[in-house]
Amino acid sequence: MAFTSQGYTPRTASEIKAEQVNKLKETQSAFLEFNADIQNCLLDTSCVPLVELENIFKEFANGIALDNQNEFLFYQLLASLGLMPKAEFSASVDIQFNGKEGDFIPKDTEVGDTQGKFTFKTQSDGVIGTSGIITLTCLGESQTIAEANTLTQINSIVDSGITCNNPTASVAYVPAETFAQIKARAQAKLRANKSGGVDYCINALSGVLGVNQRLVNCRETEIQKEISGQNYLKKGFEFVVGGGDSYEIANILRKGFLQTQYLISNPSSNENARTITHNINVLGAMVEVNFTRPKKYSFNLECQVLSTAKQYGVNEIKTMIETPLQDYLNNLRVGVVPNKTKMQAIVLAEFATRGIELTNIVSIDFRYSTASGEWTKFNNELPNIYHDIYLECLQVSVTDQVYIDNTESSEV
């Protein structure tokens, strides 16, 4: 048996059998007088329960380890630490029904939008009073938010003249955490640096529901601060956090930095609307916490492949490279600039797996376009990818505009 970084490794049946033979030779010399068949029969019979015990001990010993625990043991650990899986929450919205005094709204009355994208049902019945209005809570299953004043369609049969509307936006449906999700969140929380600072905050933020770890970043920076009519440079840390409840994020940053005046927000392009400022009341003292929400940079990418021999058309090449390139670009951490050499390597790797002769490839180049529709050549990197910008490559097209053998150009 052995304990390694991979956990406990049990002995094999052959190893157990060899150990048994050595012990019998030392203590039971009469065993050697049996013929080989009897010896093997006795050894095999004695090895079976030992192998089973080894496997049971392996499951138990490795189950203690945080990474290898099964569902039952992990939930036991969570309970002892006061951590619980997050339950399912239905989508909800307050619907205002308008009608005549005395009009009845039955339970399970279904409302929605005119496009049929959202549906909600009343959770109780109600009667419109003298005001001509009654507000009822409705539940649904939509994982997206219905904007205010969009739920104006009554899908159930009610008295004529009754209308409905949602003065406020809905709250989106949140599914219950799976075992994999609660395990990942709990592991991040248990392993988080308890001493505070940047590492603590980044680890702790991974445990906040809705926070996208790809959209978490921190940098040292400075901003202009006016004090008594004089401008000073204020240095500090800027956290960029995408997703999650802003107050839960602010509280984690507060715990990571007791001197929260060093938490500053300096969004790119002076887009101060992306600055989040929350005041947290801690035992009567108001503590200000600042952080920045990220901004998405959406673009279309075009890949230009020049070759001396046309082995595949642009449609086939697009099928080969679109998903790998999007996977690379759309998973870069916020603030990280894509690397052109890496993108070229991705294309070449896809060609190689399909048997394309790489010696025929003259060049691979890229250009991109944003909402303006104007195409710009991709040099060594995309411009204006600041610390709080993340990428969304919408689609990849392929062109073979110039061939050395003057093959007719085409694009898809």
Mean pLDDT, rounded, of the chain: 83
More confident residue, 142 or 237: 237
What distance in Å separates the CA atoms of residue 364 and residue 381, rounded to the nearest whole number?
15
Could you tell me if 198 and 232 lie in one domain? yes
**Residue 181 covered by a domain:** no
Could you tell me if 341 and 376 lie in one domain? yes
Domain limit, last residue, from 18, 50, 65: 65
pLDDT value of residue 327: 93
Task: Examine the pLDDT at 119 and tell me if it is beyond 90.
Answer: yes
Burial of 215 (0-12, 13-18, 19+ CB in 10 A): buried
Could you tell me if 357 and 304 lie in one domain? yes
Task: Examine the pLDDT at 408 and tell me if it is beyond 50.
Answer: no
More confident residue, 72 or 95: 95
**Residue 75 covered by a domain:** no
pLDDT value of residue 65: 60
Q: How confident is the model at residue 105 (pLDDT cuts 50, 70, 90)?
A: very high
Question: Which of 33-37, 137-141, 376-380 is modeled with the greatest confidence?
Answer: 137-141
212-226 pLDDT, tens digit each: 989 999 998 887 776
Residue 145 CB partners (closer than 8 Å, separation 6+)? 169, 170, 171, 172
CB 128 within 8 A of CB 101: yes
178-209 pLDDT, tens digit each: 888 888 877 776 766 556 788 889 888 988 88
Domain limit, last residue, from 292, 317, 338: 292
Could you tell me if 395 and 303 lie in one domain? yes
Q: Which domain holds residue 148?
A: 91-165
**Residue 78 covered by a domain:** no
- Comparing CA positions, the residue from 345, 363, 351, 355 lying closest to residue 402 is 363
- Comparing CA positions, the residue from 106, 115, 126 lying closest to residue 151 is 115
**Residue 184 covered by a domain:** no
Could you tell me if 35 and 109 lie in one domain? no
pLDDT value of residue 195: 62
What distance in Å separates the CA atoms of residue 123 and residue 92, rounded to the nearest whole number?
10
Could you tell me if 260 and 205 lie in one domain? yes
Mean of pLDDT values over 143-170: 91
Among 9-23, 291-305, 336-350, the least confident range: 9-23
**Residue 410 covered by a domain:** no
Judging by DSSP bridges, how do beta strands 91-98 and 133-140 pair with one another? Answer: antiparallel
pTM: 0.52
346-391 pLDDT, tens digit each: 999 988 888 888 888 888 989 888 877 788 888 766 767 889 999 9
Task: Examine the pLDDT at 84 and tell me if it is beyond 60.
Answer: yes
Mean of pLDDT values over 394-399: 90
Could you tell me if 383 and 313 lie in one domain? yes
Could you tell me if 200 and 251 lie in one domain? yes
**Number of independent structural domains in the chain:** 4
More confident residue, 238 or 372: 238
**Residue 407 covered by a domain:** no
Could you tell me if 198 and 255 lie in one domain? yes
pLDDT value of residue 403: 34
Domain limit, last residue, from 165, 182, 205: 165
Could you tell me if 242 and 300 lie in one domain? no
Question: Which of 21-25, 255-259, 394-398, 405-409 is modeled with the greatest confidence?
Answer: 394-398
**Residue 174 covered by a domain:** no
Could you tell me if 37 and 132 lie in one domain? no
Mean of pLDDT values over 322-337: 92
pLDDT value of residue 8: 65
**Residue 155 covered by a domain:** yes
Give percent of the chain with pLDDT exceeding 70: 88
Which tokens sit at 392? Answer: 């969304």
Could you tell me if 21 and 115 lie in one domain? no
SS3 334: coil
Which tokens sit at 165? Answer: 């509307």
pLDDT value of residue 28: 79
pLDDT value of residue 385: 82
What distance in Å separates the CA atoms of residue 208 and residue 186, rounded to the nearest whole number?
10
- Give the CB-side neighbour count of residue 331, counting CA atoms within 13 A: 6
Strand partners of residue 299: 393
Q: How confident is the model at residue 283 (pLDDT cuts 50, 70, 90)?
A: confident
